[in-house]
Amino acid sequence: MRIDIITIFPDYFAPLELSLIGKARAAGILDIRLHDLRSWTRDRHNTVDDTPYGGGPGMVMKPQPWGEALDAVAGGAGAPPRLVLPTPSGTPFTQERAKRLSDEPWLVFACGRYEGIDARVVADAERRMPVEELSIGDYVLAGGESATLVIVETVSRLLPGVLGNAESAVQDSFAAGAMEHLLEGPVYTKPAHWRDQEVPPVLLSGDHGAVDRWRRHEALRKTARNRPELLRELAARRLHELERSD
């Protein structure tokens, strides 16, 4: 997968040199390219923002630098990329959406700042590529960079060869076919005894059936405590399946 990121803060993405994603880039599984939006400004101050038409707080990112950046990065011959635009007003980013994005050969991320990007940039981009406006949660960030890091990490770990043990991606809480969208329960490693706490004996029993039952029980407990609404959705899904099979 190729990933292009357009931003006024390229250094924000230093973490993408590290760990799993850094290794995947070195292995050629991921081709991540950073682009400084200011490279496409035309004034000596490299201006990327201006006051909003109609008044209101803050500044808005000018269309011209973005238009030319997207032309340069995403405008080549061949199939266009999917443009991903993090925004507070975007569609919720979920594991399901991450799975779909992981099937794309080429993603371009537009990282906004200030109060956002002039709306004509998305309208112009939609004429030549699919555009997805996504939000990573119901809280307000200062820009799109941290959201892009979240999306890139979530999508990248689903690519074959990125995770050492592909199994762990499948068992993720929200991965389809896992423990039905339940939250993971507690995990343990050596030593078996630590600061007067013991690892649950079932995990040392070698009885895989008992371990699976225990893990499911702990997952249900954790989900009931932290995300009860997921249990209601699970019950509704189960009921729907039963009614369909009748």
Ligand X SMILES: N#Cc1c(-c2ccc3ccn(Cc4ccc(CN5CCOCC5)cc4)c3c2)n[nH]c1N
Q: Which residues are catalytic, by number?
A: 88, 115, 157, 172
| Contact in structure between 152 and 30 (CB atoms under 8 Å) | no
Stretch that binds ligand X, among 136-144, 171-179, 180-188, 213-221 (CB under 6 A): 136-144
Contacts of 19 (CB under 8 A, 6+ apart): none
Stretch that binds ligand X, among 5-13, 22-30, 113-121, 231-239 (CB under 6 A): 113-121
- What is the total count of residues that contact ligand X (CB under 6 A)? 21
Token couple for 55: 């008044």
| H, E, C per residue of 32-54 | EEEEEHHHHCCCCCCCCEECCCC
Residue 115 sits at the vertex; the CA angle it makes with 109 and 116, to the nearest 5 degrees, is 30
Token couple for 213: 């039952």
Q: Could you give the maximum distance between any two Cα atoms of the chain, in Å?
A: 71
Q: Tell the smallest beta-carbon distance from residue 3 to ligand X (Å).
A: 16
Binding residue (CB under 6 A) for ligand X from 46, 64, 95, 135? 135
Task: State the binding string over 145-164 for ligand X (x if CB under 6 A, else -).
Answer: --x-----------------
Q: Tell the smallest beta-carbon distance from residue 58 to ligand X (Å).
A: 7
DSSP E strands in the chain: the ranges are 2-7, 31-36, 49-50, 60-61, 82-92, 106-110, 131-135, 193-194, 197-198
Binding residue (CB under 6 A) for ligand X from 67, 90, 185, 200? 90
Nearer residue to ligand X within complex by CB, 57 or 209: 57
Binding residue (CB under 6 A) for ligand X from 5, 21, 69, 136? 136
Is 65 one of the binding residues for ligand X (CB under 6 A)?
no
Site for ligand X, rule CB under 6 A = 56-57, 86-88, 90, 112-113, 115-116, 134-137, 139-144, 147
